[in-house]
Structure 1
Amino acid sequence: MVGEVSSSFATGPRQHDGTFYEFRTYTVKPKKMKEFLELTSKNIHLRTAHSPMIGYWTLEFGGLNKVFHIWKYESFAQRTAVRTALTKDQEWQEKYMSQMLPLLDKQENEIAYLVPWCELGSSEKDGVYELVTFHMKPGGPAVWGQSFKNAVASHMKTGYTKLIGVFHTEYGLLNRVHVLWWNESPDSRASGRHYVHEDPRVVAAVRESVRFLESQQNCLLVPTAFSPLK
């Protein structure tokens, strides 16, 4: 979502510390998901020894045979150093990478920043997550930022869901915003969403925001046993 609009988003707190997040989506070969997750669970500590993992999920709806994970970096220099160290980590390469890669059909990644008005949240108890991706019209937050913030806030105020983070892409498909929500269950999310979309305050905020929207999609994420976000 950045490209030509990155300067507008760069006026917030993230400009000072440089912290960003890498979103990784792996498509696992059919019938190999169980083997993939067992291998990852057994060896993920070798990876987190190099840099912090925010969360690791499987997709329940919105994509099949996929896992999604988020990694935190303080700078691009740190990410480069981590990636270099991983290639030299013989235990990681032999115990995990050499066995994991044949299980995959595809790998995708994006680099994203938290928007300046959002801090990364956490979950107090187990639940499920919804990742909603918005492809916004060109022009940046100077045009639609306040309306988008108001739409997010209107959902937060209803209390049926918890905001974990709002991210904008720096590398990947541009003009995109990702919103990560926590819910107690798919049923609580469904009933809460149906209820709040009868709330005139939510309806008004969403109606204003969608004027700047090109498209959107979502997926339901189930945290793995080894995910920090539960």
Structure 2
Amino acid sequence: MSEYISKAIPMLVSQDNEVTYLVPWSRVQRPPQEGGVYELVTFQMCPGGPALWGSAFQAAVMAHDAPGYGKLVGAFHSEFGQRNRVHALWWFESADQRAEIRHKAHTDARVVAAVRSSVVHLVSQENKLMFPCPFSPMK
């Protein structure tokens, strides 16, 4: 930490903190192998909380967490920070594999139907492709 923090602080322009918890139907799972890339998908959902959009969100995420798709590492809901924010952390073998899977999902009727039911509750979505640092336990 001292090596990373001391180098990162001079480059820091801003910082946002958020406290999240696992959604009830998710658990943190290790990726099937070391390496690869992670995608953090942040969904800003409509006001109303999981009682309004939780089932549709779960169905959309679970439709993507199937054999031949990415590996869901965990799904998280904001407790402190911006309200109605949900995150899904995915693992892929490579950025190219992620692109192939994304294209495949666009033609999978099961995935399209689940996403269509969930997207009516979506305000915005942000995707980040991440590579673990050498000191990360998820490398």
Q: TM-score, normalised by structure 2?
A: 0.91
The two structures, once aligned, show a CA RMSD in angstroms of: 1.8
In the alignment, structure 2 segments of 5+ residues that lack a partner are: none
Alignment of 1:28-107 (within 5 A): 39-40=3-4, 101-107=9-15
Q: TM-score, normalised by structure 1?
A: 0.57
1:159 aligns with 2:123: no
Q: Which has the larger radius of gyration?
A: 1
Aligned-partner SS, 1:133: strand
Among residues 87, 92, 99, which one is paired with 1:178 in the alignment?
87
Q: Percent identity?
A: 54
Letter in 2 for 1:206: V
Among residues 205, 209, 214, which one is paired with 2:118 in the alignment?
209
Among residues 77, 80, 96, which one is paired with 1:187 in the alignment?
96
In the alignment, structure 1 segments of 5+ residues that lack a partner are: 1-36, 41-95
How far, CA to CA, are the matches of 2:83 and 2:68 in structure 1?
Answer: 30
Q: Are residues 158 and 211 of structure 1, via their aligned partners in 2, closer, same or farther at CA, if it must alter by over 3 Å?
A: farther
Letter in 2 for 1:151: A
Query: Greater relative contact order (Cα 8 A, min sep 6): structure 1 or 2?
Result: 2
Deviations 1:177-210 (A, max 9, x none): 0110000000000011101210100000000000
Aligned-partner SS, 1:120: coil
How far, CA to CA, are the matches of 1:142 and 1:170 in structure 2?
Answer: 15
How far, CA to CA, are the matches of 2:66 and 2:26 in structure 1?
Answer: 15
Q: Are residues 136 and 188 of structure 1, via their aligned partners in 2, closer, same or farther at CA, if it must alter by over 3 Å?
A: same
1:124 aligns with 2:45: no
Letter in 2 for 1:202: V
How far, CA to CA, are the matches of 1:158 and 1:199 in structure 2?
Answer: 13
How far, CA to CA, are the matches of 2:9 and 2:46 in structure 1?
Answer: 36
Q: Which of the pair is proportionally richer in helix?
A: 1
Q: Aligned-pair distance for 1:171?
A: 1.1
